[in-house]
Amino acid sequence: MGIKLPEPFLEKMKRLLGTEYEEWLNTYNRRRLYGLRVNTLKIGVDGFLAVSPFEGLAPIPWCPEGFYYEEEDRPGKHPYYHAGLYYIQEPSAMVPGELLGVEPGDRVLDLCAAPGGKSTQLAAKLQGEGLLVANDNARERTKALAKNIELAGARNAVVLNEEPERLVPYFRGFFTKILVDAPCSGEGMFRKDESMIAAWEKHSVERCTIMQRDILLHAAELLAPGGLLLYSTCTFSPEENEAQIARLLAGRKDMEIVPVAQQYGWSPGRPDWAEEFPVLGGDQHQEDGQEPRLSAEPALAGTVRLWPHKLAGEGHYAALLQKRHADGMDELQTKTDQHTRRHEGNSIGAAVKPQKKDKSAQLPSGSSSGSLRRMDKRTDGRDKRREKNRPGRQGDESGWKGARGKQGAAAPEADVMSLWQEFAAALLPDAPQWSGSLRVYGRRLYLQPAGLPELTGLRIVREGWYLGEAGARRFEPSQALSMGLRMDEATRCLDLTDSTGEALRYLKGETLHIDKERIVVRSGRETAGSGSSYVLVGINGYPLGWGKWGDGILKNELSPGWRWMG
Ligand X SMILES: C[S@@+](CC[C@H](N)C(=O)[O-])C[C@H]1O[C@@H](n2cnc3c(N)ncnc32)[C@H](O)[C@@H]1O
Detail the residues annotated as belonging to a binding site. 112-118, 136, 181
| Euclidean distance between CA atoms 346 and 420, whole angstroms | 48
Nearer to ligand X, 37 or 78 (CB): 37
Question: Which residue number has the CB closest to ligand X?
Answer: 112
- CA torsion angle 335 349 351 93 (round to 10): -30
CA distances in angstroms from 41 to 54, 195, 317, 437, 457, listed in the order given: 20, 33, 27, 21, 31
Is 101 or 116 the residue whose CB approaches ligand X more closely? 116
Residues found near ligand X in the complex (CB under 6 A): 111-118, 136-138, 141, 163-164, 181, 183, 211, 215
Which residue's CB is nearer to ligand X, number 139 or number 406?
A: 139
CB count in 10 Å sphere of residue 20 = 15
SS3 424: helix
Identify whether the C-beta of residue 70 lies closer than 8 Å to the C-beta of residue 45.
no
On whether the CB atoms of residues 33 and 68 are closer than 8 A, the answer is: yes
Q: For residue 234, indicate whether it is catalytic.
A: yes
Sequence-separated (6 or more) residues with CB below 8 Å from residue 174: 107, 109, 222, 224, 363, 367, 372, 453
Which of residues 122 and 536 has its CB atom nearest to ligand X in the complex?
A: 122
Distance between alpha carbon 151 and the CA centroid of its chain, in Å? 11
Q: Which residues are annotated as a binding site for S-adenosyl-L-methionine?
A: 112-118, 136, 181
Answer yes or no: are the C-beta atoms of 187 and 200 closer than 8 Å.
yes
Beta bridge partners of 460: 160
- Cβ proximity to ligand X: between 88 and 519 the closer is 88
How far apart are CB 190 and ligand X at their closest, in Å? 14
Q: Pick from 283, 294, 285, 305: which is nearest to 96 by CA?
A: 305
Residue ranges with strand state E in 435-533: 437-441, 444-448, 460-462, 465-470, 475-477, 492-496, 512-513, 520-521
Distance, in Å, from the CA atom of 155 to the CA atom of 287, rounded to the nearest integer, reads 42
Catalytic residue among 63, 184, 208, 234: 234
What's the min distance (Å) between Cβ of 163 and ligand X?
Answer: 6
CB 152 within 8 Å of CB 85: no
For the bound state, the minimum distance from the C-beta of residue 443 to ligand X, rounded and expressed in Å, comes to 30
Cβ nearer to ligand X, comparing 73 with 193 = 193
CA distance from start to end of the chain: 32
Closest distance to ligand X from the beta carbon of 495 (Å): 31
Q: Minimum distance between the CB of residue 203 and ligand X, rounded to whole angstroms?
A: 11
Active site residues per annotation: 234
